Each structure stands twice: as C-alpha cells, then as structure tokens.
Structure 1
Amino acid sequence: MNNHVDVLVIGAGQAGLAIGYYLKQTNLTFELIDASVRIGDVWRNRYDSLVLFSPRKYSALPGLAMSGNQKGFPTKDELADYLESYANYFSIPVSLHTKVEKLEKMDFKFSVKTSKGEWTANKVVIATGPFQKPNIPIVKGELSKSVFQIHSSEYQRPSVLPAGNVLVIGAGNSGSQIVAELSKNRKVYISTGHEIVIIPQQILKKSIFWWLDTFGISKVPVDSKLASYLQKTEPVIGMELKKLIEGRHVQVKERTVSFQGKEATFRDGTKLKVDNIIWATGFQFDYSWIDIPGVVDQQKKPIHYRGISPINGIYFLGLPWLSRVGSAQLNGIDYDAKRLYNHLKKVN
C-alpha cells in the first residue's frame, strides 16, 4: 500500500481526533493512523478502577459533548467509548492496527513506513501523546527476583499482585489512585523524592477545573512565570490520599535510593522489606521511529514552539505544556488543535 495525503496524523487518541475534527472542515486530504486495534484502547487498557479527575463537561473534545451528568466523572471505559463514537460521529478517517516504523523526509514531502505499507504526506502531525515508554529509573543495588514488580501502566487490579505489602514508587496521580485502591486490603507504602502536594477535586461544590477555567489559570501561556512554577510539581487531585496518610493506612517514605535483596533503603536511611513494587514513575518519549535530524533533541525530546517544529511540515499535538497550562487537559486540547488548524490553513 502506498497512499498520499495532504496531512498525515500519527496517533488517533484525543489529540489526533481533535485535529481530525478541524481537518474535516477543510479541503485537505488527511488520515489518522494508530497502532491500536480500537480507538480508545489506550484508555481501555489502563487499570480497572480508573476514574477521570475532570467532570464530563471538561472531558469532551470539540463539537460533541459527553453524554450523562456533566458534573459527574467518567470512567476510563466511558472515555474510551466516547472517543470511538467521536470518530464515527464526525466520520474521521482512521487506519487502525497500523504501527509506524519510520518517518523520513523526501524532497518536498514525508515518507511514513508502517506495518501495513507506506504513506506519503505533505505535512505530518505527531499526536502520539506523552505516555509512550514506561520510565523505570535506575536504583543502586540489586533487587531480589522474588520481589514482584511492574510499572503502573501494567497494573490493572489488586489481584495481579502476589500476597504481601506493596511499595509504590512515585506520588503522582496514578500512583496515588493505585495506593488508595491497594490500601483497602494490604499494607501500602508510597515513596517520593518531594513533598506530596494535594488539592481538592472540588471547591465549594465546583470542580477544580471550573476554577482553573474561570480564573484563567488553564489559559496561562507555557512561557510565563506561573507556568514555570506549576511545572515543578504535579499536584495530586482529590483528598483520599491525604486521609489515608493521616489515618496511617498509608505510610509515606522518602526517595528510594538502593535495594539489597528484598530490602529497600530510603534517603533518610530507613529500610523496608518489600514483597511488591509498583513503579509509578511516569513515561519517557519514544521517537526512535523518527529519522529526520532536528525533530528531537539529544535527550530525545521533541523540538517545537507551541507545537510547531523547526522542520517545516512537522507538528506536535497532545503534549503537556504544549502552549498553555491547560494543554494537558482533555478540554485543553481544543485550543491547541484549533490553533494548529488555523496555521495549516495559512501555510497550505
């Protein structure tokens, strides 16, 4: 197969679908390609109990509201089904089960080699998101093979873990939710190298996302002092973890600095015998399939200014802090997608 389009969008998650919505309003030919079997599978495959922090009103993409109580919080499966119905509703062209193997520059166009053949395009939008390759940091020492360990992206339910206590390394939102679930039936510890900043999910019966939107915080540019401050730490949304810590159902440990057999040692010198470890340590970018100099830097991070690459015809969408504080939010994708749509109209 060898197809040519004006715009090829790599990734059919929320970011790819958002730009697909806008591209439908142009005369440009385009296609979304994605390695998943179904649209929304990235969400379906996450842990069973996952519920979004953003209400349905703030979890929708442009042009189509989520059904149900707009103040209620959707499950991960509900969001997955919404994304699938979104693509069908707007007849967005998507090629699924299509893995990108290499992106190259060819004279005045781009070549994208996939598991199902080659595509060529005048422009390429990289909408693969930030959750690409699980990040497991190197810790000094050697952990016993009898200690069961997985990354948070592999965790689905408590029953996947053998009996015993659990050390969750990383205190972001995913790690905190997993800790809360596991603490109902077993001893759980959470290890972090920084203070856990916790903010309520609602203030005066209104979602935190309503406050961020009303006071314009989600619209603050990425290069502002406020954005720089907010990037330093990821706040945990919801007070459940705080209550568990205060009630001593969960114990906070400092940064994990070494292992020896089944024993973990923390920055303050304390030690703990562990049976299970969940690495809630985030993700790394994986752009190993990009074979164009100047698209990523030496740390393999994308080079761009608010989504626009210095390589003419390459764009990024769906990354946190892409242009504003709210770029990482589901409803914040609309602004970045519309901005890219207006740019594509001008340069076409």
Structure 2
Amino acid sequence: MKKEVELIVIGGGQSALACGYFLRRTGLDYLILDDKETCGGSWPQTWESLTLFSPAKFSSLPGFMMPASVGEYPSREEVISYLCAYERRYDFPIERGVRVTQVTREDGVFIIHTEEGQQVKTKAVISATGTWQNPFIPEVSGRERFQGLQMHSKEYQNSKAFEGKRVLIVGEGNTGAQLLAEVSKVAQTVWATHKQPEFLPDDVDGRVLFDLATAKYEAEKLGKPFDSSRYHLGNIVMTPSVKEARGRAVLSSKGRISVLEETAVVWENGERDEIDAILWCTGFGFATGHLSDLVSVDVRGRISTEETRCKDVPGLWTVGYGGWTGFASATLIGVGRSARQTVKEVVDYIKEIK
C-alpha cells in the first residue's frame, strides 16, 4: 500500500464505489480502503432473504445499470453480484482487509492509521463507512438481566436459531416487520414497537418513495410547501413477505416494553409474556468512530456537515450516511448525486491547497 496519496476513501461499499466512479477521470492519486476481504460492502453480512425495495432498473449506481432480477426485487445475492461487477468494470484502486482505526491531522495533512499498524498520508479524506459497524440497541430496563438469547438484526442470517422458541421482536421499521414475518413461521412471536407501526399501500415500493422524497427535497429547496399526507416516507413497505405475514395476522404490536425480566417481557399495560429470545431490529448509528480525534462525533456517530463537507475540518467529506450527508445518500440510486458533488469539491480543494 502506498504511503502517501492525494485522497483516501474509507469504506468499500456502494457509497465508496459511487465516489470511485466520479474520481476515475479527475487525475487524482487516490485509494479506497475497505475493511472487508471481498467485494459487496456490507451486503454479504446481511440476512439471507433480504431484498431491495425497488426493481433493479431503479436501484443502480451511476454509469452501470443493475441487471434485471429473477424476482420482483433484487435479492441479496443479486445485489452482491452487481456491486462486485461494478467494481470489476471500473477497476478501482481498492486495498482490501484494511481497517481504518483512526484519522489524525498534522500541519494540514491527514494521517490514516490502520489496525495493521500502517499509516498513509493524504491531502483529503472521504469517509464512506455507512452504518453496519455501529448497531444500536436502546436502553431498556432489565436488558442485562434477561437470560435468553439476544441478537441484533446485524447478526441475523436466518430463522434457525429461533425455531420453536418464544421470540420478542423489537422495532417498528421495515427490518422489524420483515424479520417478524420470517421468524413467525418457525416460532411464537410478540412484537414490541415504540409507536404503532404504520404500513404503506401494497403498490408502493422504493421507487415510488424515492420519487416522493425527490419531490419533497426539491420543494424544500425552493421554500415551497409539500403535501406528504398521502404517504409517510417512514412507514413500512409491504414487501411480499410482509404481505404474507399480514395474511397470517402476525403484524400486531403489543406496544412498548416496560421492563425485561430474566425470562419475560413486561408491557406498559402490565401484561407479561414469557420469552426465550429477543431479536433487536432497532437500527444502527453511523460508523464514524475513526473520525473522533478529528471532529466532534455525537452518540449516534453524526458530525456537523454542510451536505457532505465537514464544517469543522477542511479536507474531510462524509458520503452515504443518510439525509444529513445529502439527499437519499444511503440508497443505491441516490448516492450518485452526493458522490458527484463531493468529488467536484475534493478536486477544487486539492487544487486550492497546492
């Protein structure tokens, strides 16, 4: 690995690849550092039955269309295949198995520190590490006393570990609904949610949501009102598995947890259910701990940015972490806009400091 380059991109998933696409013709000497040993970003670690919410033609990175999927929506394996093909197509300079532990800055130069003890100097940094390495479990009274199996959705691969058990599924988002649908086929399940889950109409998928989010984004930029009453963008998408679970009448939440006991959950209304396992579908923070020596990072991993540019550290950008780093930047179809603008800003910055 080189000891000094003009730009380091930290992360090797979809956001890093989108940046790589726009970096190809800049003439910059850059490296993408990926802590994974193989291509595909975090997708190889996700659960086996995971699919996208949108058809393939609405789920592509810039410059290269995702091939049509076998099913209605691309499967995990199809997404992995696409990301690997994208990487091969553009032959990005990727160093694999390199975990960045810390980024420091001395005299205007960034120093990238790796778990292997390597150091790389660079003029600019794009952090594109996503959320997968920072799973979130809320503080719930009694969680440490619970004696059964506890698993975050990050660790979930399939329902085998829960067969025949009484399982508490926690989380009202898409992950909670999808894993409830799957686990309820082999186990007795109860669903805990902070608020009552709300479901989108059956014909609304990720493509429709992206179009709505785009309209909302454009309206906000122009200072115009936007009517979001028809669809709430945070509601649960009715994927085929969730529709099937609805038919079995398992999509019913018991509300909020009051306390966990050694072998049971106690609800806010005082009811008590014996359980053997808990599956936490409670989301992720942002995997930005490697930036904590450079800039203030909050408890969920967020830093202060203007679009993708860090407000407090010249030469640092963050791509693909969600709305705070650019509109729809955590999606395959949406990250291209953020990546294009970021690369333009990086090129201008490096020209300026030369």
Q: TM-score when scaled to structure 2?
A: 0.87
Structure 2 residue aligned with 1:76: 76
8 Å Cα contact 2:105-2:294 kept in structure 1? no
Query: What is the distance in 2 between the residues matched to 1:161 and 1:31?
Result: 42
Match of 2:137 in 1: 136
State the 1:345 CA deviation: 2.8
| CA distance in 2 between partners of 1:342 and 1:221 (Å) | 25
- Determine the structure 2 residue equivalent to 1:317: 319
Shift in CA distance, 242/196, structure 1 to aligned 2, threshold 3 Å = farther
**Identity rate, percent:** 26
Give the match for residue 276 of structure 1.
Answer: 277
Matched to 1:137, the amino acid is P
User: CA 1:166–1:291 in structure 2 vs 1: closer, same or farther (change >3 Å)?
Assistant: closer
Which one-letter code corresponds to 1:277 in the other structure?
Answer: I
Q: Does 1:120 align with 2:118?
A: no
1:292 is matched with which residue?
293
Secondary structure at the counterpart of residue 35 of structure 2: coil
Contact 2:327 2:338 in 1 (8 A): no
Instruction: Determine the structure 1 residue equivalent to 2:215.
Output: 217
For 1:308, the equivalent position in structure 2 comes to 309
Residues 222 and 299 (structure 1), Cα distance of their counterparts in 2 relative to 1, 3 Å cut: farther
Alpha-carbon shift at residue 317 of structure 1 (Å): 0.1
Q: 1:334 aligns with which of 336, 339, 345?
A: 336
Helix, strand or coil at the partner of 2:3:
strand
Partners of 1:189 and 1:253 within 8 A in 2:
yes
Q: Residue 298 and residue 258 in structure 1: after superposition, are their counterparts in 2 closer, same or farther (change >3 A)? A: closer
| Deviation at residue 226 of structure 1 after TM alignment | 5.7
Q: Which residue of 2 aligns with 1:170?
A: 171
Could you say if the C-alpha distance between residues 28 and 325 of structure 1 is closer, same or farther in structure 2, counting changes exceeding 3 Å?
A: closer
3-state DSSP of counterpart to 1:18: helix
Aligned length: 344
User: Is the 1:285–1:300 contact (alpha carbons within 8 Å) kept by the matching residues of 2?
Assistant: yes
State the AA in 1 paired with 2:338. Answer: D
Please show how residues 98-247 of structure 1 align to structure 2 within 5 Å.
98-116=98-116, 117-141=118-142, 146-161=147-162, 163-200=164-201, 202-203=203-204, 207-210=205-208, 212-213=210-211, 216-217=214-215, 219-220=217-218, 234-238=234-238, 241=242, 244-245=245-246, 247=248
Q: Note if contact 1:15-1:318 (Cα within 8 Å) is conserved in structure 2.
A: yes
Alpha-carbon deviation of 1:250?
Answer: 4.2
**Residues 53 and 201 of structure 1 are in contact (CA less than 8 Å); yes or no, is this contact kept in structure 2?**
no
Higher mean C-alpha deviation, range 307-316 or range 337-346: 337-346
Q: Distance in 1 between matches of 2:292 and 2:329?
A: 27
> 2:15 corresponds to which residue?
15
Please tell me the residue identity of whatever aligns with 2:347.
K
C-alpha separation in 1, matches of 2:326 and 2:143: 41
The verdict on how the C-alpha distance between 1:299 and 1:57 changes in structure 2, with shifts beyond 3 A counting, is: closer
Could you say what secondary structure the match of 1:15 adopts? helix
CA contact (8 A) 2:216 2:226 kept: no
Q: Structure 1 residue 286: deviation in Å?
A: 4.0
Task: Identify the range of structure 1 (49-58 vs 8-17) with the bigger mean alpha-carbon deviation.
Answer: 49-58
The residue type equivalent to 1:20 in the other structure is G
- Separation in structure 1 between the aligned mates of residue 300 and residue 153 of structure 2, nearest angstrom: 23
Cα deviation for residue 288 of structure 1 reads 2.9
> Whole-Å Cα distance in 2 between the matches of residues 220 and 252 of structure 1?
35
Consecutive unaligned residues of structure 2, counting only runs of 5 or more, are: none
Q: Which runs of 5+ in 1 are unaligned?
A: none
Which whole-Å CA distance do the structure 2 matches of 1:329 and 1:200 have between them?
Answer: 21
